[in-house]
Amino acid sequence: MKKPYYAVIFTSVRNTTDNGYSEMAIKMEELAKTQPGYLGIESAREEIGITVSYWENLEAIANWKQNADHLAAQIKGAKDWYTKYYVRICLVEREYAFNKEPIPNK
């Protein structure tokens, strides 16, 4: 990804009820992919959930936060799915990686 870019880190603790959560998570990921400025997503869930979405700029993040379907999911999340969550927005200026997998021939 071209730097700098932004990361939105969503850390959550869920209650024990699914009540449509899995379907909504898939829907929100698919919807986010269609938003201008979206760059990617990574997610993991064990005792806590961590989802990091990547965006070109703060305007793209603000537009995503105000998306009508996303707003509805946020309201449902606070009401039905989460016992707590945190949102952190970070500027990524540098990155590096490690990967043992061979790079495929192009």
100, part of any domain: no
Task: Return the CATH number at 72.
Answer: 3.30.70.100
Name the residue range of residue 88's domain: 5-92
Buried b (16+ CB within 10 A) or exposed e, 15-44: eeeeeebeebbeebeeebeeeebbbeeeee
The pTM (predicted TM-score) of the whole model is 0.86
pLDDT in tens, the chain (106 residues): 888 999 999 999 999 888 899 999 999 999 999 999 999 999 998 889 999 999 999 999 999 999 999 999 999 999 999 999 999 999 999 999 998 888 776 5
59, part of any domain: yes
